[in-house]
């Protein structure tokens, strides 16, 4: 769920247990809106990570030690002055507000004991980290907010600190005795049910409110359809609050189709999830993976845009070529005109603008335009010349259209593989392939740990052209052996390999797979080559394989295809020995003529797979 007051309560409970009594030994500000406190307690150093950005405000213990800039920012220096060496007294949360207060006992310059409070407000675009003294006076803040920016509160040194009141919201942790009355009031609002919850009670996000409705069997987008629904929702609401009050937190990351969907601090959602021992571990995993996905999207954006630009040009070129092809198909008319003029030349007079003759091919009368400055035989030669020119043009156009269509199919497959790339190494493999085929300019550089000694970097100067003769060079092919496709093992001991790009597909189909292995691919669209290894060790005979393995392999092919956003995808499957590689084809392109078909769901829920 969102980092709401409930999730903050879970984080505060854990932090209070783990860092209270510890001493702050180091303070760093690795990024503009990030602070890392190193805390020593029981000889075990802990790192408290605080992110006050608008997009991902969060607070948790992290195992990661980010490098700090050579010169510390001003706010970091203020924190070092007032907090470094101090002892953490406690970590608290006011009610269910999205606010974390860290009280620190510290010796000032005169050696006197004083108290400082580091306040972290997780409020979206208003997130901030504020240092205050024991008299609630602001010492400094990560983000200064003047009266020109906010009419509610100034966040400036010397100003009094207070938490802005949440308008017309009830804090259920402070009004537990009268919660039924407040709940009934909330249910009278003219909103959908889920909106009545999060607009009435502090600490609840829209996502949690909707999940509460789902857990109670109520349609959160509508009004109650039966009186007992309201009572059931109230019981679910109270049970949820009781878990929060008792500290009964169950941190988990929620998944949908093998992709991270959200996280929760209290068990509520009925979906695929991964549980964690601590809130910090869950938050670190979630934000680390989310940040990695964001970085991947950013790194693939320029490459995707470049490919889309080439594709748009190819589409326009293909339209123009087909129009030229339609014009060039008039060649039969020109040949007929030339033959008729030659046949009737002795009957026709020179100097005419047109003549009408009998077309002996279909016994119809045809009118032939002429150049009055040329003789009949010269006009006939002119039509023969037009015929030969159109014939040459048509032959060239057919080859150009075929090459253009192949290029479009190839680039569309590249867009699919960019979309399903799971890590930077797979993205680098795609860049390498494009560089080898001349779509991007190759600039050599060292990429540590990528499996490549060198890689091609994107450049807008790539020629964007390939043809039957433009095969990948031997140097590029040498890197195909570096491609590492996904390798899964099922409970029954079946090995399943999944290619995530053209090089990996080439490896899966032509290096890993053998003749009788089963091969799967989404029908008619770019996607992964999926191979199930077959052997007598896990089969009764050479040809046997359980139906659920076919379904699983089909699902893997569906999830890693261009149609991955559809509910169901048609899958072709056949023996590997029936797969052929066309001459001069791009990596990963194959043909087959006999196959079976199945319809697979784009959902891997329920399958027990181990990634090797």
pLDDT digits (tens, 9 = 90+) for 405-445: 888 888 888 888 888 887 777 888 888 888 888 887 754 43
Q: 559: which strand partners?
A: none
- Contact call for residues 602 and 563 (beta carbons, < 8 A): yes
Q: Two tokens at 185?
A: 């009031």
Secondary structure tally for the chain: helices H, strands E? 13, 21
Q: Two tokens at 276?
A: 């964690």
Residue 575: what pLDDT?
A: 93
* Bridge pairing between strands 44-51 and 609-611: unpaired
Residue 176: what pLDDT?
A: 60
- Contact call for residues 516 and 469 (beta carbons, < 8 A): no
- Please say if the pLDDT value at position 250 is more than 70: yes
Residue 258: what pLDDT?
A: 65
Residue 43 CA, chain-centre distance (Å), reads 41
**What's the chain's average pLDDT?**
84
Q: Which carries the bigger pLDDT value, residue 86 or residue 225?
A: 86
Q: What is the mean pLDDT of the segment spanning 143-171?
A: 85
Q: What is the mean pLDDT of the segment spanning 129-142?
A: 93
Q: State how far the Cα of 389 lies from the Cα of 380, in Å rounded to an integer.
A: 14
Q: Which carries the bigger pLDDT value, residue 88 or residue 55?
A: 88
- Please say if the pLDDT value at position 1 is more than 60: no
Q: What is the phi-psi region of residue 43: left when phi exceeds 0, alpha when psi lies from -120 to 50, beta otherwise?
A: left
Name the band, by pLDDT with cuts 50, 70 and 90, for residue 456. Answer: very low
What are the strands, taking DSSP E only, across 419-545?
486-490, 495-498, 518-522, 530-532
Name the band, by pLDDT with cuts 50, 70 and 90, for residue 80. Answer: very high
Question: What is the torsion angle, in degrees rounded to the nearest 10, for the CA atoms of residue 320, residue 321, residue 322 and residue 328?
Answer: 110
Question: What is the torsion angle, in degrees rounded to the nearest 10, for the CA atoms of residue 220, residue 223, residue 226 and residue 231?
Answer: 60
Q: State how far the Cα of 59 lies from the Cα of 596, in Å rounded to an integer.
A: 52
| Structural domains of the chain sorted by starting position, each given as residue range(s) with its CATH number in brackets | 5-141 (2.30.310.10), 166-243 (1.10.8), 483-611 (no CATH)
Flag the least confident range among 214-218, 286-290, 356-360, 486-490. Answer: 286-290
Q: Pick from 320, 530, 583, 339: which is nearest to 420 by CA?
A: 530
CA quadruple 222, 227, 233, 234: dihedral sign:
positive
Q: What is the pTM of this model?
A: 0.61
Q: Two tokens at 423?
A: 């890590």
Q: Pick from 492, 485, 482: which is nearest to 560 by CA?
A: 485
Q: State how far the Cα of 385 lies from the Cα of 391, in Å rounded to an integer.
A: 10
Place of tokens 């550089």: 445
Q: What is the mean pLDDT of the segment spanning 504-511?
A: 92
Residue 589: what pLDDT?
A: 87
pLDDT over 90 percentage in the chain: 32
Q: Pick from 49, 507, 584: which is nearest to 288 by CA?
A: 49
Q: Where are the alpha helices (DSSP H) in 39-87?
A: 74-83
Q: What is the mean pLDDT of the segment spanning 480-487?
A: 68
């Amino acid at each position: 769920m969102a980092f709401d007051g409930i999730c903050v309560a879970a984080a505060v409970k854990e932090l209070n247990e783990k860092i209270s009594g510890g001493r702050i030994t180091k303070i760093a500000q690795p990024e503009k809106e990030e602070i890392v406190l190193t805390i020593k307690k029981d000889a075990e150093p802990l790192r408290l990570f605080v992110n006050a950005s608008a997009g991902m405000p969060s607070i948790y213990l992290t195992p990661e030690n980010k490098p700090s800039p050579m010169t510390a920012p001003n706010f970091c220096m203020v924190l070092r002055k007032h907090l470094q060496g101090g002892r953490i007294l406690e970590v608290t949360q006011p009610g269910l507000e999205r606010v974390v207060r860290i009280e620190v006992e510290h010796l000032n310059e005169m050696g006197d004991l004083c108290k400082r409070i580091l306040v972290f407000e997780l409020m979206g675009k208003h997130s901030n980290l504020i240092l205050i003294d024991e008299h609630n006076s602001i010492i400094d803040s990560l983000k200064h907010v003047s009266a020109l920016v906010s009419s509610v509160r100034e966040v400036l040194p010397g100003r009094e600190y207070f938490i802005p009141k949440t308008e017309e919201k009830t804090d259920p942790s402070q009004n537990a005795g009268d919660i039924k009355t407040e709940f009934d009031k909330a249910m009278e609002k003219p909103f959908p049910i889920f909106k009545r919850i999060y607009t009435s009670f502090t600490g609840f996000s829209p996502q949690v409110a909707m999940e509460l409705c789902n857990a109670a069997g109520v349609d959160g987008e509508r009004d109650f359809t039966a009186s007992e629904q309201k009572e059931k929702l109230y019981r679910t609401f109270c049970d949820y609050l009781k878990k929060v009050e008792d500290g009964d937190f169950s941190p988990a990351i929620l998944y949908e189709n093998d992709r991270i969907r959200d996280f929760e601090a209290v068990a509520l959602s009925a979906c695929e999830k991964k549980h964690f021992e601590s809130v910090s571990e869950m938050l670190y995993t979630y934000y680390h993976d989310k940040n990695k996905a964001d970085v991947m999207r950013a790194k693939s954006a320029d490459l995707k845009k470049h490919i889309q630009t080439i594709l748009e040009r190819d589409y326009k070129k293909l339209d123009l070529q087909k129009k030229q092809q339609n014009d060039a198909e008039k060649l039969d008319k020109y040949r007929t005109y030339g033959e008729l003029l030659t046949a009737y030349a002795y009957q026709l007079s020179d100097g005419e603008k047109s003549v009408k003759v009998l077309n002996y091919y279909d016994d119809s009368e045809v009118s032939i335009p002429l150049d009055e400055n040329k003789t009949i035989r010269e006009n006939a030669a002119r039509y023969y010349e037009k015929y030969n020119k159109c014939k040459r043009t048509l032959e060239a156009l057919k080859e150009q259209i075929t090459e253009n269509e192949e290029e479009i199919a190839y680039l569309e497959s590249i867009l699919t593989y960019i979309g399903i790339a799971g890590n930077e190494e797979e993205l680098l493999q795609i860049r390498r392939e494009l560089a080898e085929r001349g779509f991007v300019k190759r600039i050599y550089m060292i990429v540590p740990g990528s499996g490549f000694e060198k890689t091609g970097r994107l450049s807008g100067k790539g020629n964007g052209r390939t043809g039957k003769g433009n095969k990948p060079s031997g140097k590029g092919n040498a890197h195909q052996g570096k491609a590492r496709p996904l390798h899964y093992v099922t409970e029954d001991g079946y090995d399943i390999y999944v290619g995530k790009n053209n090089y990996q597909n080439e490896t899966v189909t032509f290096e890993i797979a053998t003749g009788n292995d089963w091969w799967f691919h989404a029908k008619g669209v770019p996607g992964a080559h999926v191979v199930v290894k077959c052997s007598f060790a896990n089969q009764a005979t050479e040809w046997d394989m359980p139906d659920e393995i076919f379904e699983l392999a089909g699902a893997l092919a569906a999830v890693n295809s261009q149609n991955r956003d559809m509910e169901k995808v048609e899958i072709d499957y056949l023996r590997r020995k029936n797969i052929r590689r066309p001459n001069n084809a791009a990596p990963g392109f194959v043909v087959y003529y006999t196959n079976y078909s199945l319809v697979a769901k784009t959902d891997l829920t329920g399958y027990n797979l181990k990634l090797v």
